[in-house]
Amino acid sequence: MNDWWEQLETRLERELANFLTANPAQQALLQEQEARDRQASLVGERGRLRRQAEQQRQQLLSLAEEIRSWRQRVERARAAGAEPLAERAEAHLATLMERGRESWRQLAELGQQFAAVEAALQALAVAEQATATSAAPGGKLDELEQAWAVFEAEQQLESLRRRQS
CA 43 from centre of chain:
10
Q: Which of 44, 36, 45, 23 is nearest to 163 (CA)?
A: 45
Q: What is the pTM of this model?
A: 0.65
Q: Would residue 21 count as lying in a domain?
A: no
Q: Is the pLDDT of residue 32 over 70?
A: yes
Q: Is the pLDDT of residue 141 over 70?
A: no
CA 16 from centre of chain:
31
| Domain with 55 in it | 42-164
- Is-contact 38 128, C-beta < 8 A? no
Which pLDDT belongs to residue 128?
A: 77
> In this predicted model, which residue has the larger pLDDT, 51 or 157?
51
Averaged pLDDT for residues 91-102:
96
Q: Would residue 3 count as lying in a domain?
A: no
Which pLDDT belongs to residue 135?
A: 58
Q: How many domains are there within the chain? A: 1
C-alpha span between 143 and 149 (Å, rounded) = 10
pLDDT > 90: percent of the chain: 45
Q: What is the pLDDT of residues 143-153, one digit of tens each?
A: 777 777 778 77
Averaged pLDDT for residues 10-17:
88
Q: Would residue 109 count as lying in a domain?
A: yes
Averaged pLDDT for residues 102-128:
89
Q: Would residue 54 count as lying in a domain?
A: yes
- Is-contact 119 89, C-beta < 8 A? no
- Is-contact 114 50, C-beta < 8 A? yes
Q: Would residue 35 count as lying in a domain?
A: no
